[in-house]
Amino acid sequence: MRWHPIWLFLVFLLLCRGLGDFYPFNKFPMYANPADETSDFIIVTDADGKPLPMEKLTGESSPKIKKKYTAVRNDLAAAAGIKDAANGCPPEICQQAMQKVAEMLWRLAAKKKQTLPDVLTMQQVKLYQEATGFRETTEELGRAHRKR
Amino acid sequence: MLRRLFPEGAFLPQRVGKVESLFLRLGLVAITIWSCWKRSPYDSMERPAGLGQWIDFSFLGKPGVHPWFLALLALAGSIYLLGTWRGTRWTLVGVLPLTLGHVAYWTLRNSQGNTFHGSNLTSLVLLGQLIACVIQLWRESKATRDSPRWPGLDGMLLYFSQSAIAACYVASGLTKLARTQGRWVLDSHLFAKSVQKVWRQHYFDDPTNQAYSGISPWAQWLVEHPMLARFMFGPGFFLELFAFLLLASRRWALALGLSIIAMHFFIEQIMVLEFREWQALSLVFAVNLPFWICARQKSTAS
């Protein structure tokens, strides 16, 4: 082969950058923009707002639940013709997304022989970095009710 | 100076002996099986990703399949190991199911609507080795002689594995560069809130564990020392961006491999995020201890 064998590095690099999220290729965007104004995460609570140990009950950690919720919400929003769901998602779409994620969580808990409450709420926690510390705000995204 | 850093033959593949090749192969088989060791909790593909858009891999999560899947990987791994002596065909017959199995298992995991980045590198190393086997087989069919640019199968398995590792880190560095218009290092002190976020997420994953309650001591320190924070995160960014240098020579690979492993241990300390497979692959294919032990023994003997 006359080509320099570094071509495979270049091809993999181009595929990682060009294909985006196409396993096993990826742009690896974790922590790519530290200057984002806020950092947010999602917690799942019972109807009274008490946080539930989701990793133990379902095997799904807080980051996984957030990614799942975001993906489902974006899909539902795209189907409804909304492009930027992160900045202004109609409440009914957020509610639908939450219900879908909750159903997945109930399923996973059942597989692990664990019990989740019939009513789950999702709270979005936004974290702000300030000059000497941090500030948190919490907003309820919605409630999901188990259908029997 | 430049000539000393990059002597003649820099960025070309190295010749690899049989013993070294065996250890490299053993390392890859162990990492692949370890990566797929747990039964997938998923038996459906909620949001198909990658090849999952065309192929349904959900059967891998069905009851009773996983032990057979692991047995297949072990068999393929054994054939791949025997390929060290048996040559390209055996290596190809072994590495093909290892690659397909690993990609299928992790495509199922990544088809749940939340991407996990902990195993991409193993799949890409396997894919690189598969490509090396196919090209080597084609060269053998044409009776093409080995050359400095293609020093035979074992050298190319190592070189293409290193290429996959380098490509992933450089891609990550370029993404940081693109997303911040080049300001990543300057803005890196703002990472404190990401460190705090991960801390809080760990707390909420198990609120009974008080170890992660309150404010992360690392996050608080980063807020209070923004300039030192930039000096802490900056080297990691440049390490990613210049990871292609591990293709330059064995010494570069050793230095960068150790740096990458250290970087992940540092991230683990402050963010409680593990990248064990990435560390293990860097240990096997960049640090490559068996080569250095053999080289030392040879130099002592002579």
Q: What is the pLDDT of residues A89-132, one digit of tens each?
A: 888 888 999 999 999 999 999 989 999 999 999 999 999 998 88
Span B259-274, average pLDDT: 93
Q: Is B149 close to A5, i.e. CB distance below 8 A? A: yes
Q: Is some CB atom of chain B closer than 8 A to the CB atom of A39?
A: yes
| Res. B192: pLDDT tops 60 | yes
| ipTM surpasses 0.90 | yes
How far, in Å, CA of A60 to CA of A103, rounded?
13
Structure token pair of residue B7: 């002597």
> Average pLDDT over chain B, rounded to whole?
94
Residue whose structure tokens are 């997938």: B40
Predicted TM-score of the model (pTM) = 0.90
User: How confident is residue B153, by pLDDT bands cut at 50, 70 and 90?
Assistant: very high
Nearest to B179 among A21, A33, A65 (CB): A33
Per-residue burial over A78-105, b if 16 or more Cβ lie within 10 Å, else e, is: eeeebeebeeebeeebbbbbbbbbbebb
Span B228-247, average pLDDT: 96
What is the tens place of the pLDDT at every residue in B16-60? Answer: 999 999 999 999 999 999 999 999 989 899 889 999 999 999 999
Q: In A, which residues are within 8 Å of B131 by CB distance?
A: 8
| Res. A1: pLDDT tops 60 | no
Q: Is B149 close to A3, i.e. CB distance below 8 A? A: yes
How far, in Å, CA of B271 to CA of B193, rounded?
11
Nearest to A27 among B41, B47, B175 (CB): B175
Backbone Cα Rg of chain B: 21
Residues A34 and B191: beta-carbon distance below 8 Å: yes
- Please state, as a whole number, how many other Cβ atoms lie within 10 Å of the Cβ of residue B81: 19
User: How confident is residue B214, by pLDDT bands cut at 50, 70 and 90?
Assistant: confident
Highest mean pLDDT pick, A111-120, B88-97, B204-213:
B88-97
Nearest of B238, B169, B226 to residue B193 by alpha carbon? B226
User: How confident is residue B301, by pLDDT bands cut at 50, 70 and 90?
Assistant: confident
Q: Which of residues 107-136 of A touch B (CB under 8 A)?
A: 108, 111-112, 125, 127-134, 136
Q: Which of A78-82, A109-113, B51-55, B262-266 has the lowest mean pLDDT?
A: A78-82
Q: Is some CB atom of chain B closer than 8 A to the CB atom of A38?
A: yes
User: How confident is residue B149, by pLDDT bands cut at 50, 70 and 90?
Assistant: very high
Span A29-43, average pLDDT: 85
Q: What per-residue confidence (pLDDT) applies to B292?
A: 93
